[in-house]
């Protein structure tokens, strides 16, 4: 997401927007570097597992830290990025489509104005997603919505109402739709397990 945000920033913005985008891009990059430090996870995990319901994971904190450190090492990070960038970019295209239609520009095309909007949408969605991750809420709730709600009218020059509609729709198709599918799948799996549960009553042989 950081790479997508930087690509959108580097190609798509200039002029009066440059200072704003530089500041936001710096925040995104700093957040990515911060999250990539194993020491952060050491301190963070010790804090969050020292009280409340998460205390039961205290014995597993070292294993979690080791897993995160291995995941964030160069080779796995490069491979994961190569796989995830196209997937995340699909969400940026979804926001591009929404902003094109809601702003009255029509269906996206290969014209310069439309491609510029794609770069803006890429930066907005990627930056909001990273900042949403930094607030450590499920699915980046609040962090994504606030960031995207500020960036869309500032960088795309649409009204606050259109920006709010775009945020609601993009979150539905990228977050809540997946949550709904997950709950449906969980219900189907649970029902199948209950149906296949063996009878606990011991069978008796006919004498």
Q: What is the pLDDT of residues 118-160, one digit of tens each?
A: 888 888 888 888 888 777 777 788 888 998 888 888 888 888 8
Helix (H) or strand (E) holding 2: helix 2-12
Q: State yes or no: pLDDT of 207 exceeds 50.
A: no
What pTM did the predictor assign? Answer: 0.63
Measured CA to CA, the distance from residue 185 to residue 179 in angstroms comes to: 10
Q: For residue 17, give every residue at least 6 positions away whose Cβ sits within 8 Å of its Cβ, in sequence order, or none.
A: 154, 155
SS3 category, 204: coil
Residues 18-44: tens digit of each pLDDT: 566 666 666 666 666 666 666 666 666
Q: Cα–Cα distance between 63 and 84 in angstroms, integer? A: 24
């Amino acid at each position: 997401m950081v790479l997508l945000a930087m690509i959108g920033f580097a190609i798509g913005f200039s002029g009066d927007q440059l200072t704003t985008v530089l500041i936001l891009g710096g925040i995104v990059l700093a957040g990515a570097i911060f999250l990539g430090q194993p020491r952060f996870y050491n301190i963070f995990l010790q804090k969050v597992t020292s009280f409340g319901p998460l205390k039961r994971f205290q014995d597993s904190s070292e294993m979690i830290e080791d897993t995160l450190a291995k995941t964030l090492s160069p080779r796995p990070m490069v491979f994961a990025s190569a796989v995830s960038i196209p997937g995340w970019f699909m969400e940026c295209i979804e926001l591009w489509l929404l902003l094109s239609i809601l702003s009255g520009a029509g269906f996206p095309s290969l014209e310069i104005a439309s491609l510029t909007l794609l770069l803006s949408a890429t930066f907005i969605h990627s930056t909001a997603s990273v900042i949403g991750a930094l607030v450590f809420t499920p699915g980046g709730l609040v962090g994504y919505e606030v960031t995207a709600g500020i960036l869309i009218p500032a960088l795309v020059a649409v009204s606050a109402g259109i920006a709010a509609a775009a945020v609601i729709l993009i979150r539905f198709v990228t977050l809540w739709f997946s949550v709904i599918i997950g709950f449906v799948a969980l219900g189907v799996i649970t029902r199948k397990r209950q149906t296949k549960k063996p009878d606990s009553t011991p069978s008796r042989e006919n004498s």
